[in-house]
Amino acid sequence: MQRFMNQGDMIVDDMLKGYAKAHKDQIHISSENNHVVVKNTLKKGKVGIVSGGGSGHEPCFLGYVGENMLDAVAVGEVFSSPPATTFHQAFLEADSGAGVACLFGNYAGDNMNVKMAIQMAAMDGIEVKYVTANDDLASAPKTEKEKRHGIAGSLFMWKIACAKANLGASLDEVIDIAQRTVDQTRSICVGLTSCSIPAVGHANFEIKEGTMEYGIGHHGEPGMTVKELKPANEIGKELSEYILNDLELVDGEEIAVIVSGLGGTPLMELYVLYDAIEDYFASRNIKVYKSYVGDYVTSLEMRGAALTVLRLNDEFKQLLEVPVDCVGVKQK
């Protein structure tokens, strides 16, 4: 394993120092906790929006702190939840007097630590409510959707909820629209290679040459099935069919789409996949209203892609159009 790093167990700290220097016009590191990234300009009286999770998924989570996006994030070690004290500090940083919404992916460690941090915040007089993204349809059956993990679909939750908050919505209104967004979002990943945790130094699983793993997790969790590698047109169609069937999309609906690389996939290949994906939905008379193609939620250097689809309504469309400016996504 060859990497640009100093010590494997210090790579997150070193990353955060470099990140803060590179983007000091938009964000800063909390003076109380060096694993909390905070927006430079917080709007008084607005619901604060916080997220957080393990490192290795960049630009998620720190890349989504910015204008009309997240106010603060808690940053964990590679593929590890931030501790409760880090989430708590993020709540303190984001609070502007209207309460805080914590919007994060549905993983056991994050759930436990966020709930502990909410109790700590209550002692400070700060009201915090939360929503968990559970868009990964491969991580649990549809009958147990509450057990599914959150992956790239979190971006839609953040973008829509943050837009709502910046328009002056209450905490309950922000939580409501975040949950409604989650309810209408599905994702599925396909992996072509594994990834290596820097402090470990070797791949933590293997995908054999000439095969692909459908439904692979962002931390190397096993997928639904291993198949022979197929042409991109067939892969794009199969990914789209999984989501269409699980989300129960019907003729004439509109959707927003994310095709996110997993860290090691050339942008060229993501656009090849997207071409097949939009063609498939068009063949089912489902219109792609808005699309995002690039690295949005990654898994270190894994080769592969995640397809995320959001069923749209007029309110979602309006909020998706609100301009944002952060490292992970820019939209005028």
Please give the positions annotated as active site. Answer: 57, 219
Q: 3-state SS string over 137-196?
A: CCCCCHHHHHHCCCCCCHHHHHHHHHHHHHCCCCHHHHHHHHHHHHHCEEEEEEECCCCE
Q: For residues 164 and 161, give the distance between their C-alpha atoms in angstroms, rounded to a whole number.
A: 5
Q: Which tokens go with 97?
A: 């007097």
DSSP codes of every residue in 13-51: HHHHHHHHHHTTTTEEE-SS-TTEEEESSPPTTSPEEEE
What is the C-alpha to C-alpha distance for residues 244 and 198, in angstroms, rounded to an integer? 36
d(CA 180, CA 46): 20
CA 219/CA 54 separation, integer angstroms = 10
The residue written with tokens 């908050």 in the block is 165
CA angle 220, 223, 225 (to 5 degrees): 145
**Contact assessment for residue 70 and residue 50, using Cβ atoms and an 8 Å cutoff:** yes
Which amino acid is it at 73? V
Structural tokens at position 243: 């989501």
For 271, the 3-state DSSP assignment is helix
Helix (H, G, I), strand (E, B), or coil: what is residue 294? strand
Q: How far is CA 50 from the centre of its chain?
A: 13
State the sign of the Cα–Cα–Cα–Cα dihedral 30, 36, 37, 41. Answer: negative
